A and B are shown apart, each in its own frame.
Chain A
């Protein structure tokens, strides 16, 4: 870096102040701001290893995984619903999210992380996490009720291959699906050879993944359950069975002849087209509770209720953990063909599994058959120190999140149309270090964070504004806007309301009906979910993004997103001024301030430190005092319900909750809150 600067006759910027540095490092690594006590301790600590200890502490915090998993989830188009018309929830996708959080917190070696996601089922079939990881391939949108199930499978395969190439290799392979790539040295043959690795994969939407202990406990519990409930259950089944058959036949009769035939054909004998028809029409054959009840005679209905009541009293063993996953169909080697213009009706020559010629040398391109299961071969090839792209792409992504911009500014495009690296030697060196240090992501964070380049101030020297206006040479640190998640999580943390519990099914805080009115999706938002969990746990629906996050450029999760937008818009200002999230945080923060008996000045000082990580300048102090005073007068005139219950007679700027709430609301809108210096 210094060489680059020297060639432009530039010096690096001055080091950031300790206050700036701790806020920067904390938000970078955990997505949460440091507390005033953390700041004091760090500022006072003059020992040479103070920063290193801070970094170690933050990397050891479980909040680190929650922060960095979010970056990964952007890349892998993670969402918790199918999209398209019904946007049905995927009740198990959170297991993949939790897997990613664990992987970062445990510093899972990145090569292993890749192998698990591409072929965990083949390489470690007995490890639940390795199975859960393969959900990576299935996270994209999926039209479950597609009229063309062959195309549906092809869409998923295309999405998996395109995302794999983009996320792990920084390659834009999608163009080669329909024609030889116009700009990159990839042929259509390369594309379908890569896709061929997936040809034998079955797409599981609900695969149980118990640990051996869970499996044993579940089996035992099932035996005991059957002993207690078995006879009641069989009576119930016997009672329902004839009616179910009859209603099923009635429903079947309403389908077309083709569809009836498809349903009557045993699953293993169905053609692909028939299976597609079955998938598509299955929802219309479902028998609802109401339909079943209607089909029963009154006496049967009351008997059925009795039986169900008995069953309800016998506790059923909890369901086994379940995930989306890939599974290889044993002994089945489906062939892949080059598809002319990507159309499955136009297959051309066969494409056996193989790596792109340009990356592997023409002679090595075909993967050795039967040495290893297919996807595992692909996974090992990608997760190899010999792969020229894998390590470079990942260290660049880590750099991107620490410096606001990658060394290669097109983080998922390392091809000929991508940007040239700002410092190729540095990128290479980091990539070598990454593999050398056992693909440890945490070691890579530390290496970058301990560098003088990272620790620079964001304030440019006057000459670097002239000679390096875009900061291509990293002649200063970039100032970055926090993501919506980090803003919302900071609001919760600062106001003392953050629920730190980790993992599990998503939470769906309700939000203003304006944004959801009339949408089918909107009506399904769960009411009453804990609104104080970290943002990574908020239900990620494809057809309805959480508005607070959306306004700050949360991706829509339909395609891989290597870099979020960070535009500045008026709706963002409206959100920070007026939303419930900010008002709730302002109220709670004001309460925090008022519980301590402090002078007005000391309280202002504390408010600044809580919210922007530093005390006010004397100018800020005086502007703020004026604001508090005038707000107090203005809010005193407002109706009492608006002032959070503060009583009119005691209002003064020292204890008016309304005025302090107003101050906190304002401070949450400052650049200094939303940006990291």
Chain B
């Protein structure tokens, strides 16, 4: 039956089902958001010891057998700021004096041959677009493109030796998101949700905030569930009155009527249960309707940024035309995190995004201006609220860019060496790990493949990436396939 706070919206610190009723609650929770929450609600002990692998067709009852993290997690939440299109490491976070020195010349022959997307290998080296300066206690160098992020540099662990496997966008978007350049594997957010469940009863556990100007190249499979149950896929959330598909009651039906209809549905469904059905999908569906109704009232509240103070809105640049849109989504990411959404992915850049094949100056000036202040605002806000310790923030795109020019003023894709950074959530900030070669072509020292970054993210969430597996057609699939080493130096 409905209880009086059923339509209330418990925030992160709001009421959770009391300890005494947890098991009852679990039994009735309806799959998806509800069921997955169980791992975090229940003492993990008895459930997890010898739980069978969840199958693709797991019934809700099976989904109850959530795996706990393998060990104590440093990060409870993840915010992945995905710079779609491939931002240029040599212009942003990876200073290359030699690139200034050699500008205008072809890359020395000693660099050997390498794959490019657009046959730029013999073109002239293009100097960095902005000067770099040391910032903070750590003295990490950041280019003048990012004055605000630079002010947070002591919280960042900058990975300068990243590398991937493909020179094309979709393959690299899939690699960064799913650990494979092929389509249809499970995404990082889906894995995190599969492993951990959600803390939240009213919202999905893996939320994607696409850039309203366009999706990344490769599209929805970037946040897909792949072979994992569909429950684990990313849910698109948009601003405005209808943030989730079919969230709104049909036109002309009042909230009161909607509630009466849901009660009627559940009354009939309950009356049709038979002995033995208490733990069945049918019972789970009853709870799912209660959850759905709660989502209807909560989700619009969460996306309503009007609740935020003027100071907070300014912190994210919402008072400025250039930064307002991305700032709003960064702020939304914080609100979702606060409300217990496990994994939030925020895309920056339309379908072309940071893909500066030509006119890099214009392209990167625009996107840096859009994102610099909001990202810094997010880091500062998380820190001020005490959330940064438990929230892992990731910044990066699908690859970096080439040191030589394309045309006269662009840069081609570069998966051989690029830059990402991690902050919060168990990361030791104020340090640089890895380096590219003299001009930024290839990762050269303390190299970190995408699989290593994935292994590290899972580690921070409490998982041994080799043991977080899912049996699909006879193979124990992993996010990291057969590779991946945790970047232990990154851990705080």
Contacts and interface: CB of A to CB of B under 8 A. Distances in A.
A27 B247 CA distance: 29
Contacts of A665: 250, 261
Interface of B: 30-35, 55-60, 63, 115, 117-119, 166-171, 182-184, 204, 210-215, 217-221, 224-227, 229-231, 235-236, 238, 242, 244-254, 256-258, 260-262, 264-265, 267-269, 271-272, 274-276, 280-282, 284-285, 288-289, 291-292, 295-296, 350-351, 471, 473-475, 482
Of residues B115, B182, B227, B267, which shows the largest number of chain A Cβ atoms within 10 Å of its Cβ? B182
Contact of A642 (B117, B253, B256, B276): B253
Interface in A526-584: 542-545, 547, 550-551, 553, 556-575, 577-579, 583
Contacts of A344: none
A670 B269 contact: yes
Contact of B31 (A521, A567, A672): A567
B198 to A, nearest CB: 11
Contacts of A481: 281
Given A568-B284, A568-B288, 14 more contacts: A83-B183, A148-B115, A418-B474, A517-B210, A517-B238, A518-B215, A542-B219, A558-B184, A558-B221, A565-B230, A572-B288, A574-B292, A577-B261, A671-B285
Interface stretch (A3-11, A351-359, A459-467): A459-467
B244 A574 contact: yes
B31 A569 contact: yes
A88 B475 CA distance: 31
Chain B binding surface SS class: loop
B168 A143 contact: yes
B233 to A, nearest CB: 8
Contacts of B245: 512, 514-515, 547, 571, 574-575
Interface in A500-522: 512, 514-515, 517-521
Interface of A: 83-85, 87, 141, 143, 145-148, 155, 166, 171-172, 174-175, 178, 183-184, 255-256, 258-259, 409-410, 412-413, 415, 417-418, 459-460, 462, 465, 479, 481, 512, 514-515, 517-521, 542-545, 547, 550-551, 553, 556-575, 577-579, 583, 617, 619-620, 623-624, 627, 630-631, 634-635, 637-639, 641-643, 658, 662, 665-666, 669-672, 674-675
A147 B254 contact: no
Contacts of B115: 147-148
Nearest to A572: B288
A561 B228 CA distance: 11
Contact of B288 (A564, A569, A578, A631): A569
A85 B218 contact: yes
A518 B350 contact: yes
Given A520-B215, A620-B271, A569 B250 contact: no
Given A418-B474, A623-B264, A565 B229 contact: yes
Contacts of B471: 417
30 contacts: A83-B221, A84-B183, A85-B168, A141-B184, A143-B170, A174-B473, A183-B474, A413-B474, A417-B471, A465-B276, A514-B245, A518-B211, A519-B215, A519-B220, A520-B214, A563-B56, A566-B59, A568-B281, A570-B32, A577-B258, A619-B271, A624-B268, A631-B260, A631-B261, A634-B260, A641-B252, A662-B261, A666-B261, A675-B281, A675-B282
B184 A559 contact: yes
B184 A579 contact: no
A432 to B, nearest CB: 25
A498 B204 CA distance: 33
A85 B170 contact: yes
A623 to B, nearest CB: 6
Please give me the 4 A-B residue pairs with the lowest Cβ-Cβ distance, nearest first.
A642-B252, A558-B184, A569-B32, A172-B474
A573 B119 contact: no
B262 A577 contact: yes
Contact of A515 (B169, B236, B258): B236
A522 B195 CA distance: 31
A551 to B, nearest CB: 8
B444 to A, nearest CB: 22
B475 A172 contact: yes
A379 to B, nearest CB: 22
Given A459-B274, A623-B264, A143 B220 contact: no
Nearest to B168: A147
A565 B296 CA distance: 25
A545 B221 CA distance: 10
Nearest to A637: B254
Given A84-B170, A84-B171, A639 B252 contact: yes
A141 B183 contact: yes
Contacts of B252: 635, 638-639, 641-643, 658
A627 B475 CA distance: 51
Contact of A570 (B30, B265, B281, B282): B30
B171 A634 contact: no
Contact of B219 (A87, A148, A643): A87
Contacts of B246: 512, 547, 571, 574-575, 577-579
B171 to A, nearest CB: 7
A657 B183 CA distance: 47
Given A147-B115, A567-B229, A460 B264 contact: no
A662 B247 contact: no
Contacts of A556: 184, 221, 224-226
A405 B275 CA distance: 22
B253 A638 contact: yes
A669 B475 contact: no
A673 to B, nearest CB: 10
A6 B256 CA distance: 53
A408 to B, nearest CB: 12
A583 B261 CA distance: 13
